[in-house]
Every structure is written in C-alpha cells, then in structure tokens.
Amino acid sequence: MNDRISAIALASALAATTFLPAAAVAENSEDQSRVTTPAKPAASDMKPPVAEKRPHSYSHHGITIEDPYDWLYDKSYPVVDDADVLDYVKAENAYFEANMAAQEPLTEALFKEMRARIKEDDSTVPQKDGDFLYWSEFEEGAQYRKHYRKPVAGGEPQLILDENALAEGHEYFRLGTASVSKSGRYLAFSTDTNGSERYVARIKDLETGELLPDTIEEVRTDLVWVAGDTALVYGPSTEEWRTLEAKLHVIGTPTSEDKTLYKEEDQSFGVGASLSAQEDWLIISTGDNETSEVRLVPAADPTATPILVKPRQKGVEYGVDVRDGTLWVWTNDDHINFRLAKATLDKPGDWQTVIAGSDDYYLTGFELFKDFLVTEGRRNGLDQVELRDYANPTLAKPIAFPEASYTAGLSNNPEYDVDTLRLSYQSMVTPSTVYDYHVKTGALETLKTQEIPSGYDASQYVTERVMIEARDGTMVPVSVLMRKDRAEILKKQGIEGPGPLHLYAYGAYGYAIPPGFSTSRLSLVDRGFAYAIAHIRGGDDLGRRWYLQGKLFERTNTFNDFVDAGRGLIAKGYTAEGMVTASGGSAGGELMGAVVNQDPAQYGAVVAHVPFVDVLNTMLNAKLPLTPGEWQEWGNPITDKAAFAYMLSYSPYDQTVAQDYPPMMVTAGLNDPRVTYWEPAKWVAKLRDVKTDDNLLLLKTNMGAGHGGQSGRWNSLKETAEEYAFILWQMGMAPKSEGE
C-alpha cells in the first residue's frame, strides 16, 4: 500500500505499455501408427457469421494493400456505436454461445475443480509499513479483496478499502493503485469500471472514513504522496491514452489548478513518477521501449526546478534511486546486460561503475536499503537475488533457493530500515511461497505457502527443462510439467502414444515467462496433458540479447522458436503432430496468429486472447493509443519501407491464406485500449472467408471489459475454464453430450 516502488520497476513499466505476446525442422521420432487421433468434435448447426467485404485499400512505399474488413474499425473509437460493427460482434458472440452451449457442463465442471483449488477466505501476509501492518483478504465467495491495517503497537483491524463495495453495480471493476500517505492518515486509490484503463482517483481520510471531495479523472499511473502528505503526483491520460505529464494535485483544490511538473513532447514516450528509497526525492521518469530520461525533484518541494540526471540518448535505458545524497544508476549504456553505477547529485550524469555489465549475469534491477542493497537478475535463465554491502558492492551474497528450476524475487518491502526481506518464490511444481529472509543469519523463514483446499501432492508431478534446437541453431529452453503417471491417465482415456501437450509463450517486450505455479493448469495436466512454457526469443529469459533477437527486424525468430519448440517436443516423444494445443495473449496472440499461418498441421487447437494480429495497420495508425510508443519495438512502417515490407511479411492478418487451419478460439474486449477489438474481429472475418477446413472458429468479445477479460477472481476463472473446455472438446477429450 506504499507508493515507494523500485526505480527499475518504474523504468520497466514505462517500456512495457504492451499489446499486455516455414517448414518444420524436426520429424517425430515416434511410430505414428501408435498415436490415437481424437475424434472430430461436433459443432452447432448454427451457421457462422459472414462479415461483408467492402472495398478498401491503402498504399505505402509503392505497395497497395486491399483490406475489405477495414469497416470493422469504428472510426469514432474509443466510442463504438456503429450499428453494423456492433451487429457483427454480437452475431459472433451468439455463434460462440451456441457452439459452447453443449460444453457448458464441462466448463462448469472445470470451473468447480479450479475453484476448489483456491482458498476462498484467503489473505496476504501482513507487512509492516511505518506504524501499521497492512494486508488484504478475500472473504468466502467474494470476487474482490478487502484491504486492512492495524497498529503495530496493537489494536483492532481497520478496513481501509473494500473492493467489493466499490464494484457494486458495475459489470467490470479493477483497482488500479492504492497508496497510503506517509503519516498514515490518507489513502489515495484509483479504479476502472469499464476496462478502458482510464482510472478515476479518490482520496479517503482513514481517520474519519470519509471520502474527500477531490476526484481526479483519467489517471494512468501510480499516485505518489509528496509535500508532507498535502499533495499527490499523478499521470493523466491524453485523449489518445498516452501519459505525457507528471501533474501535482494539492488536496482540497480543484483539479483545474493542478500544476504540470513535467511535460513530455515526444508522443512515443510515457511519463511516470516514484519516490526514492528514503522518500526524500521525487523521481520523474520518461521513456519508450529503448530510451530513458530521468529528473529528480525534492519530495518536500515538488515544484522546485528539476535536476536532469542525464539527457536522453537513443538506445540507452537507465533507472535511478538515491541514498544519502548518492545517486545509483542501472543502465545499459556500455553493456547489453546492464551495469550498476553511482554518481553525485551535483554531477548526476557522471556515472562511475559499481557492478560492471556481464555476459553471464543479466542485471534486471536493484533496491536500496539502509544497511545494504539488493540486486536482482538472471544467470542461465534462473532468477538471482543477491545482497551487497555498500562498502564492497562487487561482493555478492546470493540467496539460495531449494530447487533447480524456480522463479523468485523481492516482494513487498516498503520500509528502508529493515533486517528482513520479504521474498516470493514458486516453481512449476511448488505452490507460491512467501519467505522472510533474515539478513544477519541468512535464514529463509516460510511465512505462507499457497493452500490448495482440494488437495495437491507435488510428488505426483515432474518438471523438466528441455533444450530444443531452433532452425538457426539457437538452443531454446522449454519448461515442461507432467504427471508422473501420465501414460496410465492417457490409457484410461483410450489414447495410445505420447498424448497431448499444451504449449504457451509470450515472446515480446523483454518479458520473461517464469516457470511458475498455476492451479488452473492442473486441470489439463491431471487429464494427461504435458504443459510446456517455451522461453522464446523476444522475452529476456536468457538476457537482454535474447529479447533483442526477437524485436524489430528479428521479430520472426520469436515465431520460428515457438514452431520449432513444438516440433522438437514432438521429436522427443512428448506429443505428436496435431496433438499440440497452444495459447497466448496480446503480443502472445500475435504469436498464435503467426504460428498457425506457418505450421497449422502441428496444432490440434489454438486459443488466441486479445491477439495483436493486424500489426501493419496498427503500426501505420499514429492516432491509436500505443502506436508511436511501439515503433521502437516493431519498427515504423510509415517512414521505413524496409520495416513496412518486413511487417507485411509476418503480420498474421495480412498473411492469412487459403489453407487448413486448426480449431481456434479468439477473444477480444470492446473497451480494450491495448489491442483494439477490431484486430481479432477482422482476423476472424478473414479466416472465415479464406480457410479451407471445416474446423471450428469462435470469436468471443467481452462487451463491457478490456484487455484483461472479465474482472473478479471467479469471472476470470470461468473464462479460463471456458478456454480449457474448448481445448478438451477439440482434442476429443470432452465427455460426450447428448446426440453425439
């Protein structure tokens, strides 16, 4: 509940306004005659919607593109009121519901077993921040959390925020940020009630329980307390859903009088703010996906003239924090995997190396405390958390974790003067665990392990890390989870051979998919699936270079890695052609579109959530919310002919051709500002027109939600159950309904 966040987390957030991811190179080494092909499932007799084709074309760089489904893009967006567009979207939803109706019993069964694995009356581990302990709780049956605190000195718990009450009467609800003032008197929080990610901020007086009249509309960032708890710094949204300012709101004054502390002129940059480790400096950061610039302002005097740390230099990223007047800097200016440096405040751009960049160690962030600093990073793709002394910061004291493959990192550590660190930990077989690490003794104290009420025996599962050779010779790691008795489970279902495998990935923006734990995926694994996460290029799983090898003119490495990972797993006997199911969302949905264009025969079913599939059109439209900030990630096809041609060569919508495609389920959000609803709608419309198979193709558009789908833990879980029901159905593993 504290507004102190890592400077590195802020820098990462500024670079992560994401679209929130050829011939086969290996033959299956198994005897294909042993593989049981699932029976083709029956679909509804209802005919799929057919979108009208209306003449539309555009030309760039001497190339003309025909786009007959452009009309599905309502030009009044973000208002969507075109009757033809809404009729088509609603027709697709009706078709979705008609086809999934027969699977409702399976969906409900999956939902019930997924819900049974979740402790309904759960709570977080209390954490001290100043004079109070803070935590949140779910009550049994509740969709949303309640947030509490109580005095460290003793006393009764105080309910400070009830998300359930705030969500009443809304189809959608999401808490954006919540920040308690340093004195502990005020709580600033923001909410979104339609999925548009344009939050409304309010302030609650925790002494009286009353909401102050202050209301800040269109907020897109954290709320940072400054000036002795008399004011908040926030980032407003522009009409185009960009954050180009850091503004100061003084409590009790009209928002029309809010002062701009910093305004960014580059439309591709985004602005954010945080506090330094000792909360004496306001850190105002601006940046895009590859370049940063930071300014410092005294937190007690936020309207003072800012100190520019170092002018922006294209391709140089940096984040900062301050301790006892010394500036600490995390930057990639002289090494791709980042170094840690420091400087004086009177010469903030004169960076002296503290920890040099390394090919073997990828430095992903740092956090400053009173008596030590902590660095986080990855070595051989595994998370590292290391303590260091200020006197000798090159000497690292790593925290040892109990498994060979895991994901771990700093959790909520709001205080500066501490002798314990709150850590989070999990693996593909180990449920989420909260530790306190005792700095003096090096002991890990388990505070909480995720409870699974319906039961879970980790000894019944095995996880493996498999290296698959991609077509260019690069070795791509894949994390795999299976039941030890998988063969027996499959045999009971009449499946001979290696059985089905679900392959998941994201592969963009340098976001690594960790080999973490999920109770939901057990619903596939317990039915005989292997579940695999492909750590493909485009993420930074194996370092910053791994990310760069999947962006701009190397973007197709991401798609090839995924296809080759699946083919490699087939060759190693984990599964068979046509028995790989796959899923991904956002940029991972783009991945789904690309791989089904490239190797459709590999997949038995594919789920693409809010897929970024109309890549070329979106990157050509500078009016869209994210486009200018995304040119550094994908290229700018407006000005660069080579970028236009390369993007055209892989954009899933543009490369959809007359061929057989696997069964597919596609989702969208009408209010989604990240991947606009018309991208999946246009893609599905084109697929229906050109594909040569009779496989099921479904589009579900959430009419009152955005990028993340439905809100509320049970509504969200129901959508996961729906996805898994579709996969099991299409793989011939769903219970037979009447008439089949």
The per-residue pLDDT for range 102-123, each reduced to its tens digit, is 999 999 999 999 999 998 889 9
Q: How far apart are CA 284 and CA 245, in angstroms?
A: 10
Q: Residues 623-648: pLDDT tens digits?
A: 887 888 899 999 999 999 999 999 99
pLDDT at residue 80 tops 50: yes
Relative to beta strand 664-669, strand 603-609 is parallel
Our answer to whether residue 383 is catalytic in this structure is no
Q: How far apart are CA 32 and CA 187, in angstroms?
A: 62
Q: Residue for token digits 């936020």?
A: 302
Which amino acid type is present at position 583? S
Other C-beta atoms closer than 10 Å to the C-beta of 656 total: 22
Nearest of 484, 491, 330, 463 to residue 403 by alpha carbon: 463
Q: Which pLDDT belongs to residue 18?
A: 32
Span 12-23, mean pLDDT? 31
Q: Residue for token digits 């050779």?
A: 469
Nearest of 609, 599, 538 to residue 570 by alpha carbon: 599
DSSP single-letter state for residue 620: H
DSSP single-letter state for residue 709: B
Per cent of the chain over pLDDT 90 is 81
Q: Which pLDDT belongs to residue 357?
A: 96
Q: Residues 438-467: pLDDT tens digits?
A: 999 999 999 999 999 999 999 999 999 999
Q: For residue 192, is it left (φ>0), alpha (ψ between -120 and 50) or beta?
A: beta
pLDDT at residue 33 tops 50: no
Q: Which of 56-65, 486-495, 497-506, 700-709 has the lowest mean pLDDT?
A: 700-709
Q: How far apart are CA 373 and CA 358, in angstroms?
A: 19
Q: Residue for token digits 């391709």?
A: 315
Helix (H, G, I), strand (E, B) or coil at 287: strand
| Half-sphere exposure (Cβ direction) of 64: Cα atoms closer than 13 Å | 5
Q: Where are the alpha helices (DSSP H) in 262-393?
A: none
Burial annotation 285-313 (CB, 10 A radius, 16+ → b, else e): bbbbbbbbbbbbbbbeebeeebeebbebe
Our answer to whether residue 586 is catalytic in this structure is yes
Q: Residues 160-199: pLDDT tens digits?
A: 999 999 999 998 899 999 999 999 999 999 999 888 888 9
Span 401-406, mean pLDDT? 86
| Half-sphere exposure (Cβ direction) of 417: Cα atoms closer than 13 Å | 2
Nearest of 79, 279, 319 to residue 180 by alpha carbon: 279
Q: For the chain, give the mean pLDDT.
A: 90
Q: Which pLDDT belongs to residue 31?
A: 32
Please check whether residue 559 is in contact with residue 594, taking contact to mean a CB–CB distance below 8 angstroms: yes
Residues whose CB is less than 8 angstroms from the CB of residue 606 and which lie 6 or more positions away in sequence, other chains included = 581, 582, 583, 592, 595, 596, 662, 663, 664, 665
Other C-beta atoms closer than 10 Å to the C-beta of 36 total: 15
Q: Which pLDDT belongs to residue 420?
A: 96
Per cent of the chain over pLDDT 70 is 92
For the chain, what's the residue count?
A: 740
Span 205-232, mean pLDDT? 94
Span 244-248, mean pLDDT? 96
Q: How far apart are CA 556 and CA 538, in angstroms?
A: 9
Catalytic residue among 274, 586, 651, 711: 586
Q: Which of 233-237, 550-554, 627-631 has the lowest mean pLDDT?
A: 627-631
Which amino acid type is present at position 432? S
Span 197-222, mean pLDDT? 93
Q: How far apart are CA 123 and CA 622, in angstroms?
A: 44
Could you give phi then psi for residue 176, rounded to 5 degrees? -85, -70
Catalytic residue among 268, 285, 672, 711: 672
Q: Residue for token digits 């967006």?
A: 77
Q: Which pLDDT belongs to residue 13?
A: 33
pLDDT-based confidence at residue 27 (cuts at 50, 70, 90): very low
| Half-sphere exposure (Cβ direction) of 60: Cα atoms closer than 13 Å | 18
DSSP single-letter state for residue 102: G
Catalytic residue among 321, 540, 707, 711: 707
Q: Residues 570-602: pLDDT tens digits?
A: 999 999 999 999 999 999 999 999 999 999 999
Instruction: Quote the crossing angle between the two packed helices 556-571 and 587-598, to the nearest 10°.
Output: 60
Q: Residues 468-497: pLDDT tens digits?
A: 999 999 999 999 999 999 999 999 988 888
Q: Which pLDDT belongs to residue 626?
A: 80
pLDDT at residue 17 tops 80: no
Give me 337's structure tokens.
């995997």
DSSP single-letter state for residue 138: P
Counting DSSP H helices and E strands in the chain, the numbers are 14, 38
Give me 189's structure tokens.
């929080």
pLDDT at residue 5 tops 60: no
Please check whether residue 321 is in contact with residue 277, taking contact to mean a CB–CB distance below 8 angstroms: yes
Q: Residue for token digits 């793709």?
A: 381
pLDDT at residue 617 tops 90: yes
Which amino acid type is present at position 334? D
Residues whose CB is less than 8 angstroms from the CB of residue 602 and which lie 6 or more positions away in sequence, other chains included = 24, 563, 566, 567, 570, 577, 578, 580, 595
Q: How far apart are CA 7 and CA 294, in angstroms?
A: 10
Q: Residue for token digits 């995926």?
A: 521
pLDDT-based confidence at residue 710 (cuts at 50, 70, 90): low
Please check whether residue 554 is in contact with residue 508, taking contact to mean a CB–CB distance below 8 angstroms: no
Q: Is there a cis peptide before residue 78, judged by omega within 30 degrees of 0? A: yes
Helix (H, G, I), strand (E, B) or coil at 321: strand
CB-neighbour burial class of residue 499 (10 A; exposed 0-12, middle 13-18, buried 19+): buried
Residues whose CB is less than 8 angstroms from the CB of residue 476 and which lie 6 or more positions away in sequence, other chains included = 467, 468, 469, 470, 534, 535, 536, 537, 561, 564, 565, 568
Q: Residues 332-391: pLDDT tens digits?
A: 999 999 999 999 999 999 999 999 999 999 999 999 999 999 999 999 889 999 999 999
Q: Which pLDDT belongs to residue 495?
A: 87
Secondary structure E strands in 115-254: 127-129, 132-137, 146-151, 158-162, 174-180, 186-192, 199-205, 211-219, 224-226, 231-234, 245-250
Span 654-679, mean pLDDT? 94
Please check whether residue 522 is in contact with residue 117, taking contact to mean a CB–CB distance below 8 angstroms: yes
Looking at the domain 46-118+616-638+658-740, which fold is it? Rossmann fold (3.40.50)
Q: Which pLDDT belongs to residue 7?
A: 34
* Angle CA 735–737–739, to nearest 5: 140
Our answer to whether residue 672 is catalytic in this structure is yes
Residues whose CB is less than 8 angstroms from the CB of residue 463 and which lie 6 or more positions away in sequence, other chains included = 405, 427, 428, 429, 479, 480, 481, 482, 515
